[in-house]
């Protein structure tokens, strides 16, 4: 048995309303047909605002993230230039959210951490985030370090599964999980539908959790149950992630919500096996808000009432899609909201390249 003692989240200081983001993309994209799509995508996104480490999307001239050529057309930073920003900006976010998790965890201190798992698919360098966290928090030099990279939006699930397995193997394990995603660094100028949709939903954020086999002394925490993932048959081409010359490019088929909706029931049952007791056994659903249409399809296909998926919609509304960090935002939202129940059964879901569906059963426990 393993427990999530605490979850902390953090976003960069630069905030853009969805209306501001739409206006910027209209300005960057000169294709009038694309303008019609942009208007519809942004207005139907279910997003109010998003956060970014980039302070100058709306700037004019050389200070902009997209400076203009002499002919007036915007240019795009190279993948190397984008990754340089990741190196500069991801580190303080990772350190601050990790420190907040340790400081907010009753009964566990920095010296107790035995394992550190970092997760990101939006930038790479080495020595990396793990070393920065080790030094800033003064963790022991013997801490085991693991990095899960380029897994996309479901990356927090294998991290939680690894943590639970470490705890099962060693009851003294204290695992710090840190997800940092700077998706806005890969904003691109294109009239391709995949790019337009990605530009409209992805954002930056970081989250950290502490997991151990020792029952928490916190007034609210999660007990981790089964965590699994499964590939949806015949769907490998529907969601993909590539490294290009101008950032990381995502392939996000318009059929993804439909595929998820059509397969979600059998996929969950297949992944969780004997640990799955049916939709009726779940009180609340922590669904990765990859987009409004995905949440709509999951809600419709599982026959949920709106309150069961409300936390996911609220995170989408306030933050957008922050890739792997997002599910921890949703779980934190669920854990911190007021409830009369001491025990709440939660099923968490996320989707990634493959098409991969990751799922996990958690029990939220609260003091009365």
Residue 61: which pLDDT band, with cuts at 50, 70 and 90? low
Q: Write down the pLDDT at residue 353.
A: 92
Residue 58: which pLDDT band, with cuts at 50, 70 and 90? low
pLDDT digits (tens, 9 = 90+) for 277-292: 999 999 999 999 999 9
Q: Write down the pLDDT at residue 112.
A: 98
Q: Residue 70: pLDDT above 80?
A: no
Q: Residue 57: pLDDT above 80?
A: no
> What is the Cα–Cα distance from 259 to 253, expressed in whole angstroms?
10
For residue 107, the number of C-alpha atoms closer than 13 Å in the C-beta half-sphere is 15
Closest CA to 314 of 10, 6, 47, 88: 47
Catalytic residue among 121, 153, 179, 347: 153
pLDDT digits (tens, 9 = 90+) for 103-156: 999 999 999 999 999 999 999 999 999 999 999 999 999 999 999 999 999 999
13-27, 55-69, 78-92, 152-166: segment of lowest average pLDDT = 55-69
Tell me the CA distances in angstroms from 64 to 4, 34, 181, 282, 345, one per residue in order: 41, 22, 21, 47, 46
Phi, psi (degrees; rounded to nearest 5) at 216: -70, 155
pTM for the whole structure: 0.96
Q: How far, in whole angstroms, is CA 359 from its chain's centroid?
A: 14
Q: Residue 59: pLDDT above 80?
A: no
> Cis peptide before 355, with omega less than 30 degrees from 0?
yes
The residue among 73 and 41 whose pLDDT is bigger is 41
> What is the Cα–Cα distance from 333 to 343, expressed in whole angstroms?
16
Averaged pLDDT score across all residues of the chain: 93
Three-state SS string over 3-38 comes to EEEEEEEECCCEEEEHHHHHHHHHHHCCCHHHHHHH
% of the chain surpassing 70 pLDDT: 96
Q: Write down the pLDDT at residue 241.
A: 82
Residue 341: which pLDDT band, with cuts at 50, 70 and 90? confident
> What is the Cα–Cα distance from 133 to 29, expressed in whole angstroms?
39
Residue 69: which pLDDT band, with cuts at 50, 70 and 90? low
Q: Write down the pLDDT at residue 225.
A: 96
Tell me, yes or no, if 121 is annotated catalytic: no
pLDDT digits (tens, 9 = 90+) for 244-272: 999 998 887 787 989 998 899 999 999 99
The residue among 137 and 193 whose pLDDT is bigger is 137
pLDDT digits (tens, 9 = 90+) for 202-246: 999 999 999 999 999 989 999 999 999 999 988 888 888 889 999
């Amino acid at each position: 048995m393993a427990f999530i003692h605490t979850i902390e989240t953090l976003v960069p200081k630069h905030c853009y309303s969805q209306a501001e983001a739409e206006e910027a993309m209209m300005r960057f994209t000169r294709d009038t047909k694309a303008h019609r799509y942009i208007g519809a995508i942004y207005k139907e996104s279910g997003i109010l605002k998003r956060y970014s480490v980039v302070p100058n999307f709306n700037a004019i001239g050389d200070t902009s993230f997209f400076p203009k050529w002499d002919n007036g057309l915007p240019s795009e930073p190279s993948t190397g230039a984008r990754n340089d920003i990741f190196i500069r900006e991801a580190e303080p976010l990772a350190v601050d959210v990790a420190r907040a998790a340790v400081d907010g965890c009753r009964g566990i201190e920095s010296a107790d951490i035995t394992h550190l798992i970092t997760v990101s698919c939006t930038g790479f360098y080495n020595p990396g985030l793990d070393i920065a966290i080790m030094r800033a928090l003064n963790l022991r030099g013997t801490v085991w370090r693991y990095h899960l990279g380029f897994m996309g939006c479901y990356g927090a699930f294998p991290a939680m599964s690894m943590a639970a397995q470490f705890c099962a193997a060693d009851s003294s394990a204290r695992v710090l999980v840190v997800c940092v995603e700077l998706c806005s660094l890969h904003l691109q100028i294109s009239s391709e539908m995949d790019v337009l949709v990605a530009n409209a939903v992805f954002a930056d954020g970081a989250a950290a959790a502490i997991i151990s086999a020792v029952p928490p002394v916190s007034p609210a925490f999660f007990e981790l149950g089964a965590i699994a993932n499964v590939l949806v048959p015949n769907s490998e081409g529907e969601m993909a992630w590539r490294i290009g010359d101008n950032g990381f490019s995502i392939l996000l088929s318009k059929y993804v919500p439909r595929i998820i909706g059509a397969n979600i029931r059998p996929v969950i049952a297949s992944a969780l096996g004997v640990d799955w007791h049916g939709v009726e056994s779940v009180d609340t659903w922590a669904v990765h808000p990859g987009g409004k249409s995905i949440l709509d399809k999951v809600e419709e296909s599982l026959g949920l009432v709106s309150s069961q998926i409300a936390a996911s919609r609220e995170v989408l509304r306030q933050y957008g899609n922050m890739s792997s960090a997002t599910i921890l935002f949703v779980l934190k939202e669920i854990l911190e909201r007021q409830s009369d129940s001491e025990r709440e059964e939660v099923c968490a879901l996320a989707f990634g390249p493959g098409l991969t569906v990751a799922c996990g059963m958690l029990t939220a426990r609260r003091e009365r």
